[in-house]
Amino acid sequence: MRQVIIIGSGPAGYTAAIYAARANLAPLLIASSVEAGGELMKTTEVDNFPGFPAGIQGPDLMLAMQAQAERFGTEVVLDDVVSLDLTGQVKTVTLGNGDVHEGLSVIFATGSAYRKLGLEDEERLSGQGVSWCATCDGFFFRKKTIAVVGGGDSAMEEATFLTRFADKVYVIHRKDSLRASKVMQDRAFSDPKIEFLWNKEVAHIYGEGLVNGVGLIDTVDGSETTLNLSGLFIAIGADPRTHLVHGQLDLTIEGTIAVQGRTSRTNLTGVFAAGDVIDPTYRQAVTAAASGTVAALDAEHYLASLPKDLVDSAVQASMVTDTAAEPVAV
């Protein structure tokens, strides 16, 4: 049995692991089978994480966080959680490979998942010209005409990045002004390859096999137009990943996991939540990391309140022998 099981491998999960491991709690971190490292694995330059004056690539930052967590004794497992029982004093976490892990506390840091437009053809043409990740798929659109949907920082970042490959990048936005930060807006506005299509919603995605165009509806006068293009990048935000805890953890009206005040405490004792999954507002790597710290400290405090023999039984099962050496084998 573990003292702490952390679910999620973004900045919140890894930072919680660094703190928990340094407190000698020998955490087990479930990092996901294909998406370990979270959203930053799909980003390029991260310019706003303190301590990197020249910026750092998203994947490099996440691999560094993982190494830091492992250095102090975190065990990282690359698998998906398929079910959870968080209600008892001992929590159980079942993985895709069938393994069942028990823990006295769980830190839930599953982040958020890309939002979809909800169009019939979106799924059909996913990977055939419809994408949610410019850094993953931009390369395939060399010298092509493509579009990005959205008006936030993600859309501006994707559009700007895609000009490295595409000849022309439309930004399709349903309003006549952007939600993105001024600096990101200015970068996109000054790029000669980017053209904004204001007050437009994507109503159809066309193409047999590969995307060849979209049907747009004007949100002001309702008029319809068609735009020929080879790729559509959807960057309209993300929703907290909470499906594993429905019916167990309380959610807020925004759909994030409800926590008590500025803590990471959920409605269930011994269960803590951190990062984008509790944050409908700020959703930055650095705020997620800070939130992971809070969760680790809350978990540590909670464990200290449990009967000593119970905690000792978990400690025995996951004792760290050398805190600065290899990941701990249990």
Q: Which residues are catalytic?
A: 133, 136-137
Listed ranges 21-29, 148-156, 159-167, 293-301: which one lies at the site for ligand NDP (CB under 6 A): 148-156
150 lies in the binding site for ligand NDP (CB under 6 A): yes
Could you please report the per-residue DSSP string of 39-53?
A: GGGG--EE--STT-T
Neighbours of 63 (CB within 10 A): 15
Among 179, 187, 193, 204, binds ligand NDP (CB under 6 A): 179
Q: Which of 300, 277, 144, 124 is nearest to 207 (CA)?
A: 124
Between vectors from CA 272 to CA 271 and to CA 276, what angle results, nearest 5°?
Answer: 135
Tokens of 200: 């437009």
**Interface with ligand NDP, residue 48, by CB under 6 A:** yes
Does residue 151 touch ligand NDP according to CB under 6 A?
yes
- The least CB distance from residue 115 to ligand NDP, in Å, is 6
Q: Retrieve residue 8's tokens.
A: 């999620």
Of the candidate spans 72-80, 98-106, 147-155, 211-219, the one that interacts with ligand NDP by CB under 6 A turns out to be: 147-155
Taking contact as CB under 6 A, which single stretch among the options 14-22, 89-97, 145-153, 240-248 is the one that binds ligand NDP?
A: 145-153
Helix (H), strand (E) at residue 65: helix 58-71
The correct pick among 144, 174, 193, 204 for binding ligand NDP (CB under 6 A) is 174
Among 75, 121, 157, 300, binds ligand NDP (CB under 6 A): 157
Residue 132, CA atoms < 13 Å, CB-side half-sphere:
13
Site string for ligand NDP, 56-95 (x = CB under 6 A): ----------------------------------------
**Contacts to ligand NDP from residues 115-134, by CB under 6 A:** 115, 117
Strand pairing report for 112-114 and 238-240: antiparallel
Of 40, 48, 10, 13, whose CA–CA distance to 27 is shortest? 13
**If binding is defined by CB under 6 A, does position 9 make contact with ligand NDP?**
no
Size, binding site for ligand NDP by CB under 6 A: 18
Nearer Cβ to ligand NDP (44/269): 44
Task: Compute the least distance from the CB of residue 184 to ligand NDP, in Å.
Answer: 7
**Considering only residues 99-118, where is the footprint of ligand NDP by CB under 6 A?**
115, 117
Tokens of 25: 């709690």
Contact segment (CB under 6 A) with ligand NDP among 8-16, 26-34, 174-182, 252-260 equals 174-182
Looking at the Cβ atoms of 129 and 151, the one nearer to ligand NDP is 151
The counts of H helices and E strands in the chain are 8, 19
- Checking 301-309 for CB contacts under 8 A at 24+ apart, the result is 302/105, 302/269, 302/270, 302/272, 303/3, 303/4, 303/25, 303/104, 303/105, 306/89, 306/104
Q: Which is nearer to ligand NDP, 4 or 184 (CB)?
A: 184
Is 149 a binding residue for ligand NDP by CB under 6 A? The answer is: yes
CB distance 75 to 328 below 8 Å = yes
The H or E element that residue 288 is part of is helix 285-304
The reply to whether 39 sits near ligand NDP by the rule CB under 6 A is no
Q: Write out the residues near ligand NDP by the rule CB under 6 A.
A: 48, 115, 117, 149-155, 157, 174-175, 179, 236-238, 283
